[in-house]
Structure formats: structure tokens, C-alpha cells
Structure 1
Amino acid sequence: MTDVDRDAGPTAPSRRSQAKADRRRELLRAAARLIAERGFPGVRLEDLGSAVGISGPAVYRHFPNKDALLVELLTDISERLLAGGTAVLDRVSDPAEALGQLVDFHLDFALGEPDLIRVQDRDLHSLPDDARHRVRQTQRRYVEIWVDVLRRIDPGLDTTRARIAAHATFGLINSTPYSAVSPSVDATNGDPTRGVLRRMALAALLADSA
């Protein structure tokens, strides 16, 4: 075997693997957009293939069925939120600063991933029972990060009220895909969405503090 042959061996599979991973990400982005527009029942795998320029049967190389695609979308959302919230706690010790960074992180997600937010809000019930249970568990862990920070700011705040405040804040921020005219544009370009939501979120979160 020549040096060229030896070099070519691992390269070709690597390129194929990368191309497959890129296609999978493209399919997930298209799925988020289509499901956000039509709802999960209104999207077929054939529609998804058409959206990315491949045949319907080719989609099955990446996802065995439509349920598997939704599971990956919604599992990814919950895991990314949990990872982001955990990262805030790992790098910030002051609870007031941590709360501000949690709000900023959630705003970044909602403004940057409006399709995913809409899919999560509307189609979570379409998940198979076991997947929905896993997603709910991950979501609860994310909520508890916020609860912990709120109770560190105000030790007199009970857990139930802290959870209510956290969920209310998620509802406020997650309404962005439905209400903002141009959620991807920041205030410097004439869209005050982020600044308004940040102030309202912090005010709501701290309103029940002593």
C-alpha cells in the first residue's frame, strides 16, 4: 500500500461522516421550521426531504420515522437549556449576577431559535410517552436552577413561589416567536424586544422578593 493509499483510507469515511452529520443538521433545521409553521401532524417526511432537496425515502437514512425526528428536536432543546443554565452556575457565584445571566441566556435561546420554541410549546404532547417523560425531567432540572438562584437572592422565598416565578418568566420570554416583529434584530437596529423582555423578566422574578 502506498502512502497515498494509507492517507486516503481514514479521510474518505471521515468526509462521508461529516457530510452525513451536516445533512442531519440541515434536516433538523428544516423540520423545526416546517413543524413551527404547520404543526407536527401537518408535516410528512416527504415534505422534509423536499425542503432540503432530497427524496422522501432518503430521509429514512437519518431518521427511522417522524416521531424520532421530533424526539431529537425536543430532547435537544431541553438538554441545551439545562447545559446553558448549568454553565451559568458554574461560572457565576453571585446570585443576582447569575439571575441576570440566566435571563440573558434564555433570551438568546428564544430570540435565536424561535422555531424550536414554537415546536416545544405546541408539539411536546406529540412525543411518545417515554420521550416526553425524559424531556419533562430535563425541563424540571432547568427550572430548579432558576429556583435555586432565586432562593439564594431571597432565602425567605419558598420553593413553590420561586417555581411559579420561573415558569412565568419562561412564558414571557417564550412568547417572543409569536409577538415580536423581528426577533433576530436587536435594539440598536430599531427592535426593542430584547431590552423590554429583559427588564420585564427581571422585574417579575424579583417582585416577590422581600
Structure 2
Amino acid sequence: MSTRTDAPTRREQILREAARLFAERGFHGVGVDEIGAAVGISGPGLYRHFAGKDAMLAELLVGISERLLDGGRLRVSESAGNPPALLASLIDGHIDFALDDRPLITLHDRELDRLRDSDRKLVRQLQRKYAELWVAAVRELHPRVAEAEARAAVHAVFGLLNSTPHLGSYGDGLPGRAATETLLRRLAHGAFAALGEQEQPAE
């Protein structure tokens, strides 16, 4: 979502408004008519695009997991052979997601269990692959860090970056997106730098 520069399609408009409303009121607190009204079409008109709310939720959660993985793979390709640049690029990409798609973080936390088993398993599989891109990048930069420790650090940083739904508009006392982005970037880099400081010198 955050990487598009052209006008969104009607389908994308529906998904964006569905994500916002689901995040604000919960999946069961929103009706099809309300989603339709938010994009200027009748509730029944939504069924030309989606089979129902369950299908919207699945596309939102599977879709963002696919986009994160695809974006991560692209960043790996673009920064091959430059571990610091790769990790910095992964951090920047996830910060963009965390700031621009905050409703999807809330949806994942609250509504993932509402997906049918096959969709939920697919989301988990995509997320594991995305996380492993980060683990490989961290270990390339800090080769003496154990794999399990690198993986724990990656998930801790995900938790940090994915805290954006709890920051209010842009966090107490922060003037806007740029300041929030700068803070998150500094904290993420600091976490991985601290991990590197724990490396034991070669014998």
C-alpha cells in the first residue's frame, strides 16, 4: 500500500477502508453497508469485488504478508554484498509499513485467529520467510552472533517497530511522521548495534 504512487483501484479503496474500520471497531463491529458507504457504493455492491467480510480480512492479512516478503526480497537483491546497507534498507522498509499501514498491525493482533486455517497458516509461513531474511542479514553483519539470538533480536525489533498503533497520532510530543520515523530508525539500529557489541572475539 505505502509503495504505490498511482491512484488506488476500487478494490484497493475497499480494502483500505475495511482495514481502517475493522481496526477502529473490530471485525464484528463493522457491517458491509458501512464499508460500502465509506467508498461511495452500496453494501451489496461490495459483493462484486469480495465474497464478504471474511474474504476482505483474508486478503488484507495475506496481502500485507506477501508485500512485506516481496519487498524484503527485493531489498536483499539490491543490497547484495553490503550487509550494513541491507539491514538499513530492511529497517527503512518496515518503518514505512509500520507508519503507513498501522490498521493492518492492529488487525493482525486482533483478528488473525478469525481467518480460516489455510489462510492463517499461509500468513504465518510468509511471516517466517520474511523474518528469516532479517536473520540472515543480521548474521551477515554480525557473523559471531548465534542464529537463535539473531532471530530473537529480529522479533524484538519487529515488536518495537510494530508498536506504532499505540503511539496515538504520531506519539506524545512528536511533531509528525518524520520525527517518528527518525526515532524508530534510531532505536532499531541501536538494538542491532547492541547485539553486535555482545559478539565474542575470535580465539
In the superposition, the TM-score normalised over structure 2's length comes to 0.86
1:71 aligned to 2:58?
A: yes
Contact 1:49 1:56 in 2 (8 A): yes
Q: Distance in 1 between matches of 2:60 and 2:89?
A: 25
Report deviation, 1:180: 4.5
Partner amino acid, structure 2, of 1:164: A
User: Counterpart of 1:135?
Assistant: 123
SS at structure 1 position matched to 2:187: helix
Distance 1:141 1:47 in 2: 35
Equivalent of residue 114 in structure 1, options 102, 127, 149: 102
Mean CA deviation greater in 95-104 or 140-149: 95-104
**Post-superposition offset of 1:115:** 1.6
Deviates more, 1:82-91 or 1:174-183: 174-183
- In angstroms, what is the RMSD of aligned CA positions? 1.7
User: Which stretch shows the higher mean deviation, 137-146 or 48-57?
Assistant: 48-57
Alignment of 1:36-185 (within 5 A): 36-92=23-79, 93-182=81-170, 185=176
Structure 1: gaps (5+ residues): 1-20
Q: 1:155 is paired with a residue of what secondary structure? A: coil
1: distance between equivalents of 2:37 and 2:177?
A: 32
Deviation of the 1:41 alpha carbon:
1.9
Query: Does the CA-based 8 Å contact 2:87-2:137 persist in structure 1?
Result: yes
Deviations 1:1-59 (A, max 9, x none): xxxxxxxxxxxxxxxxxxxx822111111101101101112122122112222222111
TM-score when normalising by structure 1:
0.83
- Provide the C-alpha distance between the structure 2 equivalents of 1:205 and 1:144, rounded to a whole number of angstroms: 15
Give the letter for the 1:31 counterpart: A
User: Any idea what SS the aligned residue of 1:208 has?
Assistant: helix
Query: Partner of 2:48: helix, strand, or coil?
Result: coil
Question: Runs in 1 of length 4+ with deviation above 3 angstroms?
Answer: 183-187
Number of the residue aligned with 1:14: none
**CA separation in 1, counterparts of 2:10 and 2:82?**
42
Larger Rg: 1
Q: Please give the alpha-carbon distance, in whole angstroms, between the structure 1 residues aligned to 2:97 and 2:61.
A: 14
Q: Which has the higher helix share?
A: 1
C-alpha distance in structure 2 between counterparts of 1:196 and 1:25, whole Å: 30
Identity of aligned residues (%): 48
Q: CA deviation at 1:206?
A: 2.8
Shift of 1:200: 0.7
CA contact (8 A) 1:180 1:193 kept: no
Deviation at 1:129, TM superposition (A): 0.8
The one of 179, 186, 193 equivalent to 1:199 is 186
Question: Counterparts of 1:186 and 1:115 in 2: how far apart (Å)?
Answer: 16
Q: 1:50 to 1:181 in 2, by over 3 A?
A: closer
* Structure 2 runs not aligned, ≥5 long: 1-7
Q: Which residue of 2 aligns with 1:26?
A: 13
